[in-house]
Amino acid sequence: MSRHGKVIVAMSGGVDSSVAACLLHQQGYDCIGVFLRVGEHEADGSAGEPPVNATAGHLPLGDAPRRLRHGCCSLTDSLDARAIAARLGIPFYVLNFAADFREIVDYFADEYARGRTPNPCVRCNIDIKFGRLLRYADMLDAQYVATGHYARILQSGGQSLLARSCNLAKDQSYVLFGIARQSLPRCLFPLGEIADKAEVRQIAAGLGLAVHDKPDSQEICFVPDNDYARFVRQRSPQTHRSGVIVDGGGVVVGTHEGVANYTVGQRRGLGIAAGRPLYVTRLDAAANVVHVGERADLLAAGLVADRVNWLVDSPAPGQAFRATVKIRHQHTPAAASVVRREDERVSIAFDEPQVAVAPGQAAVWYRDDGVVLGGGWIAEAVRANSA
């Protein structure tokens, strides 16, 4: 009989999720390991079909497996995850979420085509890891879902709160803001209290896990070469239309082969010999125009976010509150005033203008103690020089 309950552990085959599974097993949870098959790419970049479905259990080994490249969900990774589960003596299943994941891939390409900067990791957490996977947990009467994310669930006044990890350098609370508030009591993040990634690797080595020195995945899993423009061009060739690049005065300073090749804040690869640094300040997909300017033109006094998810009781419309706001994963949270609007959007005014606020990215607001209050998707940037 489990001391703490049944938990579905998402195991990617990396060191973080492997240690998470081991820690929960040591703590007395009844663990079930699952590997999320969301699609795969062969080494030459061609797509393959997932070999199993959600009820197929263990992934059949066959003969020698093909060498696949797919960031965090290759066949090699699934074998690593299964080896850890076997070592722990826990059940292990491969779940086919490829159809669901295709929607995220489509979203990624569509956002770039619209001149926006997508965040597929946030969407994956919302739709799959803490969406479909929680429903799968219900099928198995499991109380919890666990991952190797660096974040914490805190308890206060009978409420579960999402908070930043003790390891601020690896903190992933930003990409978890979209978890439904009612799902927080069912989320477990065993690595959230560990302050150093080196300690995680030491734990793995001490447990004799072969993945203790496995490198972290650095790329988006379905774009293993990090060439986003090529990926979007192959999926949506019609969006790559030549157009003009204009400066802040409306003067044409160059040409482009599609707005999907650019992101707000980009400096390199513009193909402009201006004699001074220029940055992408805005993308107008409808007019097929790339706008560039000086670094000062990138400064935003604030932003408007939509599709907001509150993880605490939301304030009354029009009521401002203080928070620190993060506008991309590697951004240092900036002090700001946050207001919930009548239309359920949120307006944010920064104390100090921020660089490269990109529509399509997430904005997440935090309490001073690191608790996530809520977040949304950046609909527009309010330029510091707009007056």
Instruction: Dump pLDDT digits (tens) for 346-378.
Output: 999 999 999 999 999 999 999 999 999 999 999
Q: What SS3 class is residue 111?
A: helix
DSSP label at residue 359: B
Residue 17: pLDDT over 50: yes
Nearest Cα neighbor of 95 from 142, 137, 65, 67 is 137
Residue 317: pLDDT over 80: yes
Can you list the pairs that 135-139 forms with residues at least 24 positions away whose Cβ atoms lie under 8 Å?
Answer: 136/8, 136/34, 136/54, 136/95, 137/8, 137/186
| Contact yes or no for 378/193 (Cβ under 8 A) | no
CATH class, 297-383 region: mainly beta
Q: What is the pLDDT of residue 67?
A: 32
73 is annotated as an active-site residue:
no
Residue 95: pLDDT over 80: yes
Catalytic, out of 72, 121, 124, 187: 124
pLDDT digits (tens, 9 = 90+) for 35-88: 998 864 433 333 333 333 333 333 332 222 333 344 456 778 889 999 999 999
Locus of tokens 């085509």: 113
Question: What is the pLDDT of the chain when averaged over all its residues?
Answer: 87
Q: What is the pLDDT of residue 235?
A: 83
pLDDT digits (tens, 9 = 90+) for 195-233: 999 999 999 999 888 888 888 776 677 887 777 878 888
Which ranges in the chain are annotated with CATH 2.40.30.10? 297-383
Q: What is the pLDDT of residue 265?
A: 92
pLDDT digits (tens, 9 = 90+) for 250-306: 999 999 988 988 989 999 888 888 788 899 999 999 999 999 999 999 999 999 999
Answer positive or negative: Cα dihedral of 262, 222, 197, 213.
negative
| Fold classified for 6-213 | Rossmann fold (3.40.50)
221 is annotated as an active-site residue:
yes
CATH class, 241-293 region: mainly beta
Which ranges in the chain are annotated with CATH 2.30.30.280? 241-293
Which ranges in the chain are annotated with CATH 3.40.50.620? 6-213
pLDDT over 90, % of the chain: 69
* Confidence band of 139 (pLDDT split at 50, 70, 90): very high
Nearest Cα neighbor of 323 from 310, 309, 339 is 339
Distances (CA, A) of 23 to 176, 292, 385: 21, 50, 51
